[in-house]
Amino acid sequence: MTDTANTHSGALGVDPMLTDAVNQILGDLATSEAVREAEAGDGFGRPLWDALAESGLTGVGIDEEAGGSGGTIADAAELVLQAARYAAPVPLAETVLLAGPALAAAGLAVPEGPLTVVSEPGALRATHDGDGWTVTGEAAFVPYARIAGHIVALAAAGGAKAAGGAKAAGGATAAGGATAAGGATAAGAGGLVLVVLPAVELTITPGSNFAGEPRDTVTAGGVRATAAAPAPEGWDAKGWRLRGALARSVQLAGALDRVLEMTVTHAKTRVQFGKPIVRFQAVGQLVAQLGEQVAAARMAAETGVLATAAGRPDEDVPIAKIITAEAATKGSAIAHQVHAAMGMTREHDLQLFTRRMWSWREESGGETVWATEFGSLVAEAGPGELWPLISAAR
């Protein structure tokens, strides 16, 4: 793919040098050939990951004390957005927006290497048995589990010891409880405990999403967590789901941005009836509508990032997922219409992005899931609160 650095950044207030740095690596190592190669193989672009890791980019947005490279969630989101513009076959979103910052928030060390998360809170169960947590259960659709060194989950705490102990699972006193790695004896809010599982001890059954990205089934038959802590503040079940939705929203916005760029290029270079098709008004109007969807998606995703940074994700992140998923639906349809038959082939790069968008829009909750949940909040607040809610500052 062409190097597209970079008129596409800046809105999140991120240092342009960071954007340039990641684009340089992506331009070299996330070529469409590399993406296809990964898809044909184990789904993982190892040379790309290694280059990102060597530059410290896989630790961005993760506190230095926890082993990360520092920086903000906006920095991390910018990397994820840029990576999505290349359909990069690496668990960057899972590492820098989910697993890494969750561990850092809990005061746990962030292990080296690619990380991933179980997206559904409580899908696995954790039992405390004296000096640590033992995890059992099965979780489906875990991104990149097969190549991740560690899998991070918010497990449902249970078991005699934990329930009967002084700091009972789900108990009010738990939140501020033990934090040392591997030494947590209590669960956080909702009886959830953050656990780090070594991938080598799990049974991993390969699977993939619609776009050929690894989405594996993970089975834990009494696996010892290498570290554990009560679910930290902001990372309860709701916070965990919100963060997953934010990650996919940012990826959708990035992919859409790239699809617009590809569509503009195609419309300007494809000649029919003796002129570039962009000169036909009907085509120009399609491009404009795609531009509208991209503008809405980027606004919603970036607002979701800034709201999360401000500690108030409850409204803007559901909005981000609703809007980016809608934009993915409308935007991919328009892009394919403009590319016509050529865009329907495996050979064309468009499908690298549209197949991802068709997967990501449902992952971590599709637009109807989030719209129903968010709409309930809005309806409950009532008509008098409607305008203040729409115009709310982050």
Partner 1 sequence: MRFPPTTLTPAELELREEVRAFLAAELGDQAGRGVGVAGPHNPEFSRKLAKKGWVGLSIPKEYGGGGRTAVERFVVVEELLAARAPVGAHWVADRQSAPAILKFGTEEQRRRFLPAIAAGECFFAIGMSEPDAGSDLASVRTQAVRDGDGWRLSGTKVWTSGAHLNHFFAVLCRTSPADGDRHQGLSQLLVDLHSPGLSINPIITLDGGHSFNEIVFDDVYVPGEMLLGAEGQGWRQVTSELAYERSGPDRFLSTFGLFRTFVEVCGGRESDSVKAAIGRITARYRTLHGLTLSVARMIDQGGAPAAEAALAKDLGTNFEKEVAEVVRELAGLPPDPDATDPLGAALAAAIPMLPSITIRGGTTEILRSVAARELTR
CA atoms within 13 A on the CB side of 278: 12
For partner 1, the binding residues in 296-335 under the rule CB under 8 A are: 296, 298-300, 302-303, 306, 315-316, 318-319, 322-323, 326
CB of 380 to partner 1, least distance (A): 8
- What number of chain residues touch partner 1 (CB under 8 A)? 54
Q: By CB under 8 A, is residue 268 in contact with partner 1? A: yes
Q: Which is nearer to partner 1, 13 or 222 (CB)?
A: 13
Q: Which of 6, 32, 219, 289 binds partner 1 (CB under 8 A)?
A: 289
Single out the segment in contact with partner 1 by CB under 8 A; choices: 54-62, 129-137, 356-364, 381-389.
381-389
Q: Which of 160, 180, 271, 288 binds partner 1 (CB under 8 A)?
A: 288
Q: Which of 5, 142, 202, 371 binds partner 1 (CB under 8 A)?
A: 371
Q: By CB under 8 A, is residue 275 in contact with partner 1? A: no
Q: By CB under 8 A, is residue 53 in contact with partner 1? A: no
CB of 335 to partner 1, least distance (A): 13
CB of 309 to partner 1, least distance (A): 12
CB of 291 to partner 1, least distance (A): 5
Please give the residue ranges that form the binding site for partner 1 (CB under 8 A): 7-8, 10-11, 260, 264, 267-268, 278, 281, 284-285, 287-289, 291-292, 295-296, 298-300, 302-303, 306, 315-316, 318-319, 322-323, 326, 367-368, 370-376, 378-380, 382-383, 386-387, 389-394
